[in-house]
């Protein structure tokens, strides 16, 4: 069974440029999470979807971050414009209902 | 002060040693306690899950929760080089929905 797939794995951009990350969850998992992991820190929840609905986006910086989950499957996380402090790993995770989370390998962003 | 505190290490031990990893927390509402293992440049994977207080054993791994002290531990017996990774504690008041992670402890097991 395929795990959570994220792309790109690595992205280097200049500050003020836009960037987008894509996540394909495990088949059948209706709940999808985006986490931010700064270097030397644990993951922090940005947004949680149940099907198409964002049920918890309280930690998403809405001035520059946006996310969508069309058709309740794949999801995209966008940053526009990127700032130096956005350099981090963006992790996607999925679960069936509110069960165990399965994480992808992450998208590592470097903002120059 | 963070809700979950975890010593970042690094912790270096010889193969075969018993490893003790710990986290403290401040939120008395936490009922669900997990340990995740994260290899370099990979996503976290669930290692142990405990609800409320008590011990749980799975092979070489034992998780302990002491809610009275707000302290959780993960013990690894007969540690192997393949156990070298970052270990993250995580906890929540309501299952997997709102996990609060510790900063992670980096462990190196050398042959």
Residues 6+ apart with CB under 8 A from B50: B32, B33, B34, B56, B63, B65, B72
CA closest to A48 among chain B residues: B97
**Tens digits of residue pLDDT in A53-67:** 999 999 999 999 999
CB contact under 8 A, B88 and A98: no
> What pLDDT score does A98 carry?
80
CB contact under 8 A, A106 and B46: no
Is A29 at the interface with chain B, CB within 8 A?
Answer: no
Burial of A109 (0-12, 13-18, 19+ CB in 10 A): buried
Residue B98 pLDDT class (50, 70, 90 cuts)? confident
Mean predicted lDDT score pLDDT of chain B = 95
For residue A56, which residues of chain B lie inside 8 Å, CB to CB?
97-98
* Beta bridge mates, B65: B54, B72
| DSSP codes of every residue in B45-80 | EEEEEEESSEEEEETTEEEEEETTTTEEEEEESS--
Measure the CA–CA gap between A106 and B106, rounded to whole angstroms. Answer: 18
> What pLDDT score does A2 carry?
84
Is A98 at the interface with chain B, CB within 8 A?
Answer: yes
**Tens digits of residue pLDDT in B20-52:** 999 999 999 999 999 999 999 999 999 999 988
Q: Is the pLDDT of residue A49 over 80?
A: yes
Residue A70 pLDDT class (50, 70, 90 cuts)? confident
């Amino acid at each position: 069974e395929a795990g959570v797939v994220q792309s790109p794995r690595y992205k280097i951009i200049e500050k003020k440029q836009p960037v987008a990350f894509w996540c394909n969850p495990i088949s059948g998992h209706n709940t999808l999470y985006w986490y931010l992991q700064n270097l030397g820190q644990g993951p922090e929840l940005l947004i949680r979807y149940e099907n198409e609905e964002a049920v918890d986006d309280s930690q998403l910086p809405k001035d520059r971050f946006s996310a969508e989950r069309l058709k309740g499957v794949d999801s995209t996380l966008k940053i526009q414009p990127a700032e130096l402090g956005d350099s981090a790993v963006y992790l996607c995770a999925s679960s069936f209902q509110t069960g165990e989370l399965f994480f992808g390998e992450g998208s590592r962003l470097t903002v120059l | 002060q963070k809700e979950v505190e975890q010593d970042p290490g690094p912790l270096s031990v010889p193969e075969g040693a018993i490893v003790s990893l710990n986290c403290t927390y401040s939120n008395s509402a936490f009922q669900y306690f997990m340990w995740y293992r994260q290899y370099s440049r990979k996503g976290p994977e669930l290692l142990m899950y405990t609800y409320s207080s008590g011990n749980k054993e799975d092979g070489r791994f034992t998780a302990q929760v002491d809610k009275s002290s707000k302290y959780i531990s993960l013990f690894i017996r007969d540690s192997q080089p393949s156990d070298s990774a970052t270990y993250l504690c995580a906890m929540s008041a309501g299952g997997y929905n709102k996990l609060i992670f510790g900063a992670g402890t980096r462990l190196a097991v050398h042959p």
